[in-house]
Amino acid sequence: MSTPFDFLNAINFTKEDMFKGRKENDKDYLPFIVNRGLSYFSDTVMYANEMNRYPDLSNQQQFSFLLYSISKKKRFSKWAPKESVSEDLENVCAFYGYSKRVAKSVLNILTEEQLNYIREKQNKGGK
């Protein structure tokens, strides 16, 4: 079983064809994750964008394009951390039934008094 990071390593550094003789890798290849990993670098972002433009290509075709188009180079970057969610944002989501995107914009217009009321209503009690 291969991970998306194995595919990224093959595209960037080892230049190993991960699909040659291994049909099971088709289900392991995740185009979104691979393209996201390539989007962190100025020399590979356009290749990732090109693959995003053609989502109807098979996984093997996408991998082959990236494998043979991108020059061999050791690339490493830390993935962007998941944005932390404040307790007030969670309370507004639960109280009004809003999505996080809508709750963020609503959070900016609520007064401290309104936020205290929402916190009080969302308090479940207990330890």
Which pLDDT band, with edges at 50, 70 and 90, does 127 fall under?
low
Domain presence at residue 80: no
Which pLDDT band, with edges at 50, 70 and 90, does 21 fall under?
confident
Other CB atoms within a 10 A radius of the CB of residue 92 amount to 24
Q: What letters, b where the CB count within 10 A reaches 16 and e where it falls short, cover 99-121?
A: eeeebbeebeeeeeeeeeebeee
Q: What is the DSSP string of 62-117?
A: HHHHHHHHSPP-----PPPPPPP--HHHHHHHHHHT--HHHHHHHHTT--HHHHHH
93/64 same-domain check: no
User: Token pair for residue 96?
Assistant: 């009004």
Q: What percent of the chain is predicted at pLDDT more than 90?
A: 64
Task: Give the pLDDT mean for 77-83.
Answer: 71
> For the whole model, what pTM was predicted?
0.63
**80 has a pLDDT exceeding 80:** no
- Print the domain residue range for 117: 87-122
**52 has a pLDDT exceeding 90:** yes
Yes or no: say if 56 and 62 are a contact pair by the CB < 8 Å rule: no
Nearest CA among 34, 41, 81 for reference residue 60: 34
CATH no. for residue 14?
Answer: 1.20.272
Which pLDDT band, with edges at 50, 70 and 90, does 99 fall under?
very high
Domain presence at residue 16: yes
16-20, 62-66, 74-78: range with lowest mean pLDDT: 74-78
Domain presence at residue 19: yes
